[in-house]
Amino acid sequence: MRVLANDGISKAGEIALKEAGIELLDNRVAQDHVINFINENNVDVLLVRSATKVRQDLIDACPNLKIIGRGGIGMDNIDVEYAIEKGLYVINTPNASSKSVAELVFAHFFSLARFLHESNRLMPLEGDTHFNAMKKSFSKAYELSGKTLGVIGFGSIGQEVVKMGISLGMKVKVLTRKPRTQVLTLDFFDGQTLKFEITSTNDTDEFLKDTEFISINTPQTDEYIIDTPQFEKMKDDVFIVNTARGGVINEVTLLDFIESGKVAGAALDVFENEPAPELILLMNPNLSLTPHLGGNTVDAQEKIGIELAKQIIEIKKKL
């Protein structure tokens, strides 16, 4: 069996594949040449992240392809249903990067609540001349403890965000399309555990009215989850973080509500016009910005590689 990990795979994943007698091709192929490469090299497994697209034309043109794997959760760059109809196995790693994404959510919340995103820009420029003025301007900061955290989406990432919020002493609310109850377990360093039963709501108005920190953790959507009607129902001085997908929040409207003071600050790790975000977003001092880094940690990549390798090895036994 031959594997093309076109967007890369961790060393741990590489080792696991090789130990199972699976050949891993050490190539990075441009999108326009992927079909030819797969066919010329008799590739059985194509692994991608977000860069490589696996559409119907590729699936049709590569009859020897048996498995398509996505390192991560979102599958929007793969025509999943079509691939399955054609008899291919489609795999992903829904849990491997959840903690990394959740930690980035709180990195942004802390940055916004303490003005770190703005302070880090200005200190190198004005720290020696306007130190006291900046100290005063950044004094209206907030603790997260005791505040209300609202999480939109209750998949593996949303659950990790909720758990981290609980550990910080936050009140938590969860918004989903259909209400559901989930038991979450917090594991501590000394082996102790605590269980929390969390029930989500589908009442958007109730969810938004007193929520102070909002994290968006949903799959890609066909329309905005957060737009003018939702912004208008939010509490004043709300903080918002989007690590889900570009297009779940209206970025233009977001800027309007930042300007009006309704939104105290927002963070974007994903963008509607990715990978070329609008300049007006990049220049706004009330935004904390990262270039789609959610699952980009050494830890997450190790887990992703191992999880993909395990699934490929299991499927190989069936073929």
Active site residues: 245, 274, 292
**CATH topology (fold) of 2-93+298-318:** Rossmann fold (3.40.50)
What's the pLDDT at 236? 96
- From first to last of its 319 residues, the chain has per-residue pLDDT tens of 999 999 999 999 999 999 999 999 978 999 999 999 999 999 999 999 888 999 999 999 999 999 999 998 888 899 999 999 999 999 999 889 999 999 999 999 999 999 999 999 999 999 999 999 999 999 999 999 999 999 999 999 999 999 999 999 999 999 999 999 999 999 999 999 999 999 999 999 999 999 999 999 998 888 999 999 999 999 999 999 999 999 999 999 999 999 999 999 999 999 999 999 999 999 999 999 999 999 889 999 999 999 999 999 999 999 8
What is the token pair recorded at 27? 């190539």
DSSP 85-100: HTT-EEEE-TTTTHHH
Domain ranges of the chain: 2-93+298-318, 98-289
- pLDDT, tens only, 153-207: 999 999 999 999 999 999 999 999 999 999 999 999 999 999 999 999 999 999 9
Q: Check: CATH 3.40.50.720 for 98-289?
A: yes
| CA 176/CA 231 separation, integer angstroms | 17
Sheet holding 213-216, edge to edge: 171-175, 148-152, 213-216, 238-242, 263-268, 287-289
Q: Given this chain, do its domains 2-93+298-318 and 98-289 carry the same CATH topology?
A: yes
Nearest to 151 by CA among 143, 159, 142, 139: 159
